[in-house]
Amino acid sequence: MIGKCGNLLLCIFGLCCSVCFSAITLPFTEYLDSANLMSVSWGFDNNGGPITFQVVANTTGWVGFGFSPSGSMTGSDVVIGGVNPDGTVYFTDRHATGNTLPLVDAKQDYTLIDLKESGSTTTMTFSRQLQTCDTDDLPITATPMILIYAYGSKDTISYHGASRGAKVINLLNYAGSVQSAVNYSYFDLTVTNFKVPHLTTFYYCKIVQIPSFSQKNHIIRIDPLIQKGNEDLVHHMLLYVCPFNKMISLDGECYFGPKSTTFNLCQSVFAAWAVGGGAFEFPANVGASVGTSQDPLYFRLEMHYNNPLATSGRIDSSGLRFYYTPHVRQYDTGILETGVGVVQQYLIPPGANIFKSYGLCKTSTFPSSQKRQNILTLFNAAYVAVQKGETGQFHFTEDFFGDSIV
């Protein structure tokens, strides 16, 4: 009788899980690697409920997936699962303290929904709360997160070798694939096999040219193209407009040496990406104009490489991808830069405990220069010496530069 009841309960539980899983919607999908060997699909309740993932890997061995604060193993929050040769499954919530096998969490906050093998692939479906209140887990927030993955050919969990990687995705504010624009194409602006110096930080610049167009087009989306394996190396990318009337073949260190004089002629920001960011898609009625006589053709691509261990021999070909369409949208977009410019002549007095800088932008002429202004997004940038920054609109008063405004 006990055995029959046990079997009955198992059947009910299996039916319940099957019904629950069939009701789960996973509207978003991304490949995690350039070879399309591993993908993740996900969905969540906008009311703050759990988030569900489905990881598909081209292996019949163990599969690891999780989140990292930096793109490396240290501090990461992962799950590892698979199907044993005898058909039993294994699945654990873990955390990594270094480049070693992640430790099993004392509190298991991931719920396994389904785990199966089919042919040469393993599919692992599971869920968790956005906030688990577990110090061994990372919270899932509405900002871009670094997803990490690894897998092995066997079920014995061992070193993954080259079968690993990372990708930045905004899970809760996902841009997804390109909007259903009619007749869109893309072009890439990248560096080419650049040998990154074995320095802790380096700014590399290259003059690039976009394609020539016979008519006005609109850029509708900008994607980062981070070379696989360099997610920890590429810190940010900026694209500046150049005032050139012909192509200049030039690349090298951005801000020092004889080439910096030419690079500094390109000052207006056209596009930007920084670590933790993802794709930027314009609203359906907005685009960035290219192809007219008034639009730029030449740019300075700036790459900032963060190499804290000063590792040598690293090669990079990262950059940006621009999707565009000849079907021009209702509005052109532009960029307004505010703040304090990054120039070598900017000096902080020696010995100062605190030093306030003010970048002022007179907005009284805006109504006459622009018929309509709507802010699409804000990008903030500050460097190592900055402790705090604020942007706002103020009316001039006698004490405008007093302590009340930082």
In the chain the domains, ranked by start, together with CATH numbers, are 20-169 (2.60.40.1210), 185-346 (2.60.120.310)
Residues 6 or more apart whose Cβ sits within 8 Å of residue 101: 157
Residues 6 or more apart whose Cβ sits within 8 Å of residue 369: none
pLDDT of residue 381: 62
Q: Return the HEC string of the chain.
A: CHHHHHHHHHHHHHHHHHHHHHCCCCCEEEECCCCCCEEEEEEECCCCCCEEEEEEECCCCCEEEEEECCCCCCCCEEEEEEECCCCCEEEEEEECCCCCCCEECCCCCCEEEEEEEECCEEEEEEEECCCCCCCCCCCCCCCCEEEEEEECCCCCCCCCCCCEEEEEECCCCCCCCCCCCCCCEEEEEECCCEECCCCCEEEEEEEEECCCCCCCEEEEEEEEECCCCCCCCEEEEEEEECCCCCCCCCEEECCCCCCHHHHCCCCEEEEEEECCCCCEECCCCEEEEECCCCCCCEEEEEEEEECCCCCCCCEECCEEEEEEECCCCCEECCCCCCCCCCCCCCCCCCCCCCCCCCCCCCCCCHHHHCCCCCCCCCCCCCCCCCCCCCCCCCCCCCCCCCCCCC
Per-residue pLDDT of the chain (406 residues; tens, 9 = 90+): 333 333 333 333 333 343 344 456 788 888 888 788 999 999 998 777 899 999 999 999 999 999 999 888 899 999 999 999 999 999 999 999 988 899 999 999 999 999 999 999 999 999 999 999 999 999 999 887 899 999 999 999 988 888 898 888 889 877 666 655 567 899 999 999 999 999 999 999 999 999 999 999 999 999 999 998 898 899 999 999 999 989 999 999 999 999 999 999 999 999 999 876 778 888 888 899 999 999 999 999 999 999 999 999 999 999 999 999 999 999 898 887 777 776 667 778 888 888 887 777 766 666 655 555 555 555 566 656 666 666 666 655 544 444 433 3
pLDDT of residue 148: 94
pLDDT of residue 275: 78
Task: Say if residues 57 and 151 touch (Cβ distance below 8 Å).
Answer: yes
pLDDT of residue 293: 93
Residues 6 or more apart whose Cβ sits within 8 Å of residue 329: 218, 220, 282, 284, 285, 286, 287
> Which amino acid, one-letter code, is at 166?
A
Instruction: Count CB-CB contacts under 10 A for residue 325.
Output: 20
Burial class from Cβ neighbours inside 10 Å (0-12, 13-18, 19+) for residue 221 reads buried
pLDDT of residue 17: 41
- CA dihedral over 108, 111, 114, 119, signed as positive or negative: negative
Instruction: Count CB-CB contacts under 10 A for residue 233.
Output: 23
Task: Say if residues 196 and 202 touch (Cβ distance below 8 Å).
Answer: yes
Angle (CA) 130-134-136 rounded to 5° is 105
pLDDT of residue 178: 62
